[in-house]
């Protein structure tokens, strides 16, 4: 019975010897802080097995950091495995279960079960903690390097700390090519109508309007988070409204919003974007073939590294015709670090995160990868930092981080995460898409009763 995935996966995980391949080429050009912590006593030994997700600037930084860490601790080797972000949770589960990982890259503790939710599955991070697989790091000194809000909001559960979060990211923005905008005499759009007009201008000039890394699925509709945000700035309220029925996808406001989704998918995103991998989208944008890229702030470092002289800007997605509605940047706490509770080398794992959390190293990480920092003393002094500075004061945690669907709900119950409209999805009519989404959600809500 080849389909018996559960048991086979457990066996494979149990047989998996360790890890894995460190990136072959160290990124010598990535600066790692020079004030690294000296080796503690007694001297550490053995290996530190680290699991991280694919993000080229982050991988380059970690490769360089690992070399520095090994140099500071001659008895220690770092074995780092890089996996696609979509596979990170499954891989985390396998390796924690097999007890062959020490330090894991874990996304923030979001999607917690809200009081108004019923019949939902607890998120994966909560199950990992309930299973005793993550180490309680509440008393570790390096935790104090991070701001208390990020520790409480993105790494704590039941009063204990299990992860430190490395930064917030915005995901409701648009990158735009300054030179192309200037050359085509297009002003940076502040409203939806201006965005539509800008796309028309670029397409008339045989320039693609915008791209996205659609091969990974979700990046196609990252830009639509901005659309959603301009209509529903209170994102937790939106989630609660959908759950209690006070907001329905078939409401007039949603129908208008879905009409814009349709324009976004069919007329703004360039044809063929579904073939572009998420980490290839910055290259497509930096090539100048398209004027804009819908995407999160995590792409900024890659865009800069691909073409340092490339001039770009970053704005909240202008989803509303009222410019005042388009002033919010939505996002989330992003990646963080946790330690496996069953780690056979906890001292080295703690030393690894202590050294990473050293302010100089953390600043180097911020410079290389570009998150909005969660260490009080760090600054984002990059192009992105300047671009998003006006929106940090009103930065909002987005819909995605609150949403859990009830068991039994259909796949369109959360239309933000699915490619609804042609050419990426099957829908052509916003009313039909709304009806399907509401039916899928209602089905789960009814089951929860």
Q: Among residue numbers 97 through 126, which ones bind another protein (CB under 8 A)?
A: 97, 110-111, 120-124
Residue (271 or 393) nearer to another protein, CB? 271
The answer to the question of residue 278 lying near another protein (CB under 8 A) is no
Residue (87 or 234) nearer to another protein, CB? 87
Q: Are 413 and 447 in contact (CB under 8 A)?
A: no
Residue (126 or 201) nearer to another protein, CB? 126
Q: How far apart are CA 266 and CA 407, in angstroms?
A: 31
* Minimum gap (Å) between residue 82 Cβ and another protein: 16
- Contacting residues for 102 by C-beta, under 8 A, at least 6 apart: 47, 48, 49, 50, 339, 340, 343, 344, 345, 346, 348, 349, 352
Q: How far apart are CA 286 and CA 25, in angstroms?
A: 24
The one segment of 39-47, 230-238, 310-318, 423-431 that binds another protein by CB under 8 A: 423-431
* Minimum gap (Å) between residue 50 Cβ and another protein: 21
Site for another protein in 305-344 (CB under 8 A): none
Residue (160 or 422) nearer to another protein, CB? 422
Site for another protein in 378-407 (CB under 8 A): 403-407
Q: How far apart are CA 403 and CA 418, in angstroms?
A: 14
Lookup result for tokens 């005042």: 324
* Minimum gap (Å) between residue 113 Cβ and another protein: 10
Whether omega before 42 lies within 30 degrees of 0, making that bond cis, reads yes
Cα-based distances in Å from 193 to 190, 263, 379: 9, 11, 35
The one segment of 196-204, 248-256, 378-386, 433-441 that binds another protein by CB under 8 A: 433-441
* Minimum gap (Å) between residue 238 Cβ and another protein: 15
Exactly one of 302, 364, 414, 434 binds another protein (CB under 8 A); that residue is 414
Residue (173 or 405) nearer to another protein, CB? 405
Site for another protein in 126-165 (CB under 8 A): 127-128, 130-133
The one segment of 161-169, 176-184, 311-319, 437-445 that binds another protein by CB under 8 A: 437-445
Residue from 397, 403, 369 nearest 105 by CA: 369
Residue (75 or 132) nearer to another protein, CB? 132
Residue (83 or 380) nearer to another protein, CB? 83
Lookup result for tokens 């089905």: 443
* Minimum gap (Å) between residue 262 Cβ and another protein: 15
Residue (190 or 294) nearer to another protein, CB? 294
Sheet holding 335-339, edge to edge: 76-83, 46-53, 103-107, 335-339, 164-165
Site for another protein in 256-275 (CB under 8 A): 270-275
Neighbours of 58 (CB within 10 A): 24
- The footprint of another protein on this chain (CB under 8 A) covers a number of residues equal to 71
Residue from 415, 353, 405, 91 nearest 227 by CA: 415
3-state SS class at 294: strand
Residue (213 or 319) nearer to another protein, CB? 213
Site for another protein in 35-94 (CB under 8 A): 86-87, 89-90, 93
Site for another protein in 213-252 (CB under 8 A): 214-218
* Minimum gap (Å) between residue 210 Cβ and another protein: 14
Tokens encoding 232: 């529903």
Residue (30 or 339) nearer to another protein, CB? 339
Encode 341-404 in three state secondary structure.
Answer: CCCCCHHHHHHHHHHHHCHHHHHHHHHHHCCECCCCCCCCCCHHHHHHHHHHHHCEECHHHCCC
Site for another protein in 6-35 (CB under 8 A): 6-11
Tokens encoding 45: 């030994």
Q: How far apart are CA 134 and CA 196, in angstroms?
A: 47
The answer to the question of residue 422 lying near another protein (CB under 8 A) is yes
Residue (77 or 274) nearer to another protein, CB? 274
* Minimum gap (Å) between residue 1 Cβ and another protein: 4
Exactly one of 324, 423, 429, 432 binds another protein (CB under 8 A); that residue is 423
3-state SS class at 100: coil
Q: How far apart are CA 294 and CA 300, in angstroms?
A: 12
């Amino acid at each position: 019975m080849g389909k018996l995935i559960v048991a086979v996966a457990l066996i494979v995980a149990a047989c998996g010897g360790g890890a894995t391949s460190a990136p072959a080429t160290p990124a010598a050009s990535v600066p790692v802080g020079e004030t690294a912590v000296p080796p503690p006593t007694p001297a550490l030994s053995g290996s530190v097995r680290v699991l991280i997700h694919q993000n080229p600037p982050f991988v380059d930084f970690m490769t360089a950091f690992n070399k520095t860490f090994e140099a500071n601790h001659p008895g220690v080797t770092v074995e780092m495995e890089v996996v696609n972000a979509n596979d990170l949770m499954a891989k985390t589960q396998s390796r924690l279960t097999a007890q062959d990982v020490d330090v894991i890259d874990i996304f923030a503790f979001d999607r917690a079960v809200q009081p108004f939710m019923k019949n939902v599955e607890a998120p994966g991070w909560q199950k990992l903690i309930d299973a005793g697989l993550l180490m309680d790091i509440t008393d570790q000194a390096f935790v104090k390097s991070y701001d208390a809000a990020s520790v409480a909001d993105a790494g704590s559960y039941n009063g204990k700390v299990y992860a430190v979060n490395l930064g917030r990211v915005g995901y409701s923005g648009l990158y735009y090519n300054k030179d192309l905008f200037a050359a085509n005499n297009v002003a940076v759009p502040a409203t939806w109508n201006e965005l539509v007009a800008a796309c028309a201008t670029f397409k008339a000039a045989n320039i693609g309007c915008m791209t996205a890394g659609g091969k990974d699925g979700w990046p196609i509709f990252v830009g639509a988070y901005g659309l959603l945000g301009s209509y529903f700035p209170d994102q937790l309220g939106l989630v609660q409204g959908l759950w209690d029925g006070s907001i329905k996808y078939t409401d007039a406001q949603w129908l208008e919003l879905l009409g814009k989704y349709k324009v976004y998918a069919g007329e703004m995103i360039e044809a063929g974007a579904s073939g572009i991998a998420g980490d290839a989208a910055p290259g497509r944008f930096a090539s100048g073939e398209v004027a804009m890229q819908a995407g999160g702030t995590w792409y900024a470092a890659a865009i800069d590294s691909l073409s340092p002289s490339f001039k770009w800007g970053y704005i909240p997605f202008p989803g509303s015709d009222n410019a005042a509605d388009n002033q919010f940047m939505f996002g989330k706490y992003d990646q963080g670090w946790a330690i496996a509770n069953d780690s056979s080398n906890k001292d080295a794992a703690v030393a690894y995160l202590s050294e990473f959390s050293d302010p100089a190293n953390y600043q180097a990480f911020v410079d290389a990868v570009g998150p909005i920092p969660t260490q009080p003393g760090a600054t984002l002094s990059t192009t992105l930092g300047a671009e998003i500075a006006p929106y940090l004061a009103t930065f909002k945690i987005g819909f995605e981080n609150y949403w859990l669907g009830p068991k039994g709900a259909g796949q369109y119950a959360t239309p933000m995460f699915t490619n609804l409209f042609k050419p990426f999805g099957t829908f052509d009519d916003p009313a039909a898409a709304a009806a399907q989404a509401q039916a899928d959600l209602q089905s789960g809500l009814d089951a929860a009763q």
